């Protein structure tokens, strides 16, 4: 299995008849994605945003017509499941949608997890959302890809961290203990042992909360860094395009300058020159 992520280029469904049929179907959210996995502040703020600026971005939905879990409440079902816009679904079930066909991928379920993580980089995630998402991937790696149980946490780390927006520490924190290798398990047990033996329970809780906050800060910084990289890439493309246009204009200008200053047409002598003030080519009779 290759765990290094690649940029997701998903095939958008454009057929109006298919879109109309899909619009009449309910979107799928698995039952393990409970209300605790939503950022309630974000959900509550969406109607206000919609009333001011409209529905700027649609709910982006994965489609896999041959999904073997279609019709089942399974975390491995991806047909009609949003990979971007879960909160918009919660705020307004009638929010406009776009559909993307994952049927052409060798592993549509893994591609769904890639796409979801890619778009999750653009928003903050709750602790429960991270925990459920990572467990869904872990269970899939174990039950469907048959990766040895003790290797799964490390494989998830490679899979997610390579895409950016999340740290290895955060993956380890939310990955179920049964999927960790012996060293990771021992470290988790050691931390719990210190917590259980501590005489100052409140201090331990305060320290754990501080560590959680620091991890969240790291993830937020990674998210911002990812956005800045995307913006930088966009600016670089614009600069390259402008440079290309400039080179083309310069080449054209050099060709004009290479023209003879004077030429005879039908016994009429004319000359051509560039007017720098008017920025135009002038041809006049001599």
Domain assignment present for 142: yes
State the Cα angle at 96 between 31 and 231, rounded to 5°. Answer: 95
Residue 134 CA neighbour count, 13 Å, CB half: 32
* pLDDT, tens digit only, all 286 positions of the chain: 443 333 346 899 999 999 999 999 999 999 999 988 888 888 888 888 888 888 888 999 999 999 999 989 999 999 999 999 888 888 898 999 999 999 989 999 999 999 988 876 556 677 888 899 999 999 999 999 999 999 999 999 999 888 877 888 888 888 999 999 887 777 766 655 655 555 455 555 666 667 666 766 766 676 666 667 666 766 777 887 788 877 777 777 676 666 556 666 677 777 777 776 776 777 777 7
CA 77/CA 80 separation, integer angstroms: 9
In angstroms, how far is CA 80 from the centroid of its own chain?
A: 18
Neighbours of 139 (CB within 10 A): 16
**Residue 265 forms part of a structural domain:** no
**Distance between CA atoms of residues 37 and 116, nearest Å:** 14
Say what the pLDDT of residue 118 is.
81
Tell me if 60 is assigned to some domain.
Answer: yes
Within-domain flag for 198 = no
pLDDT score, position 9: 67
> Residue 91 falls within a domain, yes or no?
yes
- Determine contact, residues 188/180, Cβ cutoff 8 Å: yes
Residue 190 falls inside a structural domain: no
Which pLDDT belongs to residue 128? 87
Domain range enclosing 81: 11-180
Contact 2, 93 (CB under 8 A): no
Query: What is the reported pLDDT for 132?
Result: 93
Residue 168's pLDDT is: 85
CA distance 71 to 92: 22
What's residue 2's pLDDT?
41
Residue 245 placed within a domain:
no
How far is 48 from 60, CA to CA, in rounded Å? 21
Q: How many structural domains is the chain composed of?
A: 1
Other C-beta atoms within 10 Å of 125: how many?
Answer: 21
Residue 153 lies in a domain: yes
**Taking Cα atoms as reference points, which of 147, 207, 136 lies closest to residue 174?**
136
- How would DSSP label each residue in 9-65? --EE---HHHHHHHHTSPP---TTS-GGGS-HHHHHHHHHHHHHH---SPEEEEE-T
Distance CA 192, CA 186 (A): 10
pLDDT at 57: 87
Longest Cα pair distance anywhere in the chain, in angstroms?
108
pLDDT at 135: 95
The angle that helices 108-120 and 127-143 make with each other, rounded to 10 degrees, is 160
């Amino acid at each position: 299995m290759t765990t290094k992520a690649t940029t997701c280029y998903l095939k958008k469904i454009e057929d109006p008849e298919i879109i109309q049929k899909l619009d009449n179907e309910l979107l799928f959210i698995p039952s393990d994605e409970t209300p605790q996995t939503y950022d309630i502040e974000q959900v509550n703020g969406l109607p206000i945003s919609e009333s001011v600026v409209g529905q700027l971005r649609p709910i982006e939905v994965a489609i896999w017509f041959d999904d073997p879990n279609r019709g089942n409440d399974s975390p491995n079902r991806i047909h009609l499941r949003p990979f971007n816009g879960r909160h918009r679904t919660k705020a307004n079930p009638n929010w406009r949608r776009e559909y993307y066909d994952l049927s052409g991928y060798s592993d549509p379920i893994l591609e769904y997890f890639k796409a979801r993580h890619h778009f999750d980089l653009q928003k903050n995630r709750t602790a429960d959302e991270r925990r459920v998402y990572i467990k869904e991937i872990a269970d899939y790696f174990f039950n469907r890809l048959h990766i040895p149980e003790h290797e799964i946490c490390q494989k998830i780390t490679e899979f997610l961290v390579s895409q950016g927006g999340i740290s290895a520490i955060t993956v380890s924190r939310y990955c179920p203990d049964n999927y960790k290798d012996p060293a990771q398990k021992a470290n988790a047990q050691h931390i719990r042992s210190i917590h259980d033996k501590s005489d100052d329970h409140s201090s331990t809780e305060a320290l754990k909360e501080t560590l959680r906050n620091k991890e969240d800060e790291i993830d937020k910084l990674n998210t911002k860094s990812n956005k800045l990289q995307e913006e930088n890439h966009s600016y670089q493309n614009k600069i390259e395009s402008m440079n290309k246009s400039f080179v083309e204009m310069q080449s054209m200008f050099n060709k004009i300058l290479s023209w003879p200053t004077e030429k005879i047409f039908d016994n009429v002598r004319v000359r051509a020159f560039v007017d720098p003030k008017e920025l135009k080519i002038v041809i006049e009779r001599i």
